[in-house]
Amino acid sequence: MGLATLLSLGLGAATAVSQVAAASGTVWATPHDSYSSSVGVLGCRIDTDRVAYWPSSVDCTNLCVSLSYEGRSVKLLRVDQSQGAHDVSYDAWNYLYTGYGATEKPAAGGAVAMEYEDLDPSECADLIHTDGGKLPLSASNSMNFLASCLAQEGSWVSKNYVLYNILDSICSWGYDEECTLDWPAANQAKCANPLGTPVTLTSEPVYNIQYPSGQKVLASTGQVASSDAKNGSVSFGTRLTTPSVIFVGAVTAMLCQAILCLI
């Protein structure tokens, strides 16, 4: 066996050891207050208060990680890539740092050394709000990522994904409908409505918790929301003035007038 071959094997073994060692360790975690996903994971179908924005690219299997600090621990979905920092959702960072949620007792601070450990994707099932815990992806903007995962036989995403006709990760454009993909015969999803149509979507909001105020806002507009507002459920303050509610109010008023007329 030649020297070059031995060196190659040695480097390969070192890389393998490094990859195994990288399954746990210490990171300097920083707070992140605006949801995004570089691979098109839809925020209206996950818990955006439990997301990791780390330097490595989003993986097709290694999507779940635990982060711990001073006896407290959270599980996070790795669905976006940072420019170099180990960012985590503000609420998760605040809880680990103080023991309180970011809307309850918001705190300010920088990077904090925390312990992480990669987990099996099933450990993060509670963070995904779809039938069967499948990863919700944008049918129009996730295809490059999904195709790479489908090419990896046995990857978790290849067996656990669902496509929606929603354009953006904060669910403000498109149609709230599932789509189908006839892979590999087709590389474009089929939906009930035209794929990628930029129509306003208001029924599936995503909320951010602003740093360092702890105020919850609608991600698409910055509109202030109640502290208990949940992704995928419309509960921001001006909802009472939306057309559907006005319509219900008008019908109620007409019914009341009709009753008064009969009395």
* Rounded mean pLDDT, 62-66: 98
Residue 11's pLDDT band, with cuts at 50, 70 and 90, is: very low
Q: Are 33 and 113 spatial neighbours (Cβ–Cβ below 8 Å)?
A: no
* Rounded mean pLDDT, 199-220: 98
Q: Please report which residue ranges of the chain form alpha helices under DSSP H.
A: 3-21, 90-98, 143-150, 156-159, 243-262
Per-residue pLDDT at 234:
60
> Which amino acid, residue 91?
D
Report the range of poorest mean pLDDT among 8-12, 112-116, 124-128. 8-12
pLDDT in tens, 163-194: 999 999 999 999 999 999 999 999 999 999 99
pLDDT over 80 (residue 213): yes
Token pair for residue 144?
């490059």
Longest Cα pair distance anywhere in the chain, in angstroms?
Answer: 103
Sign of CA dihedral 113, 115, 119, 123: negative
| Residues present in the chain in total | 263
* Rounded mean pLDDT, 55-76: 98
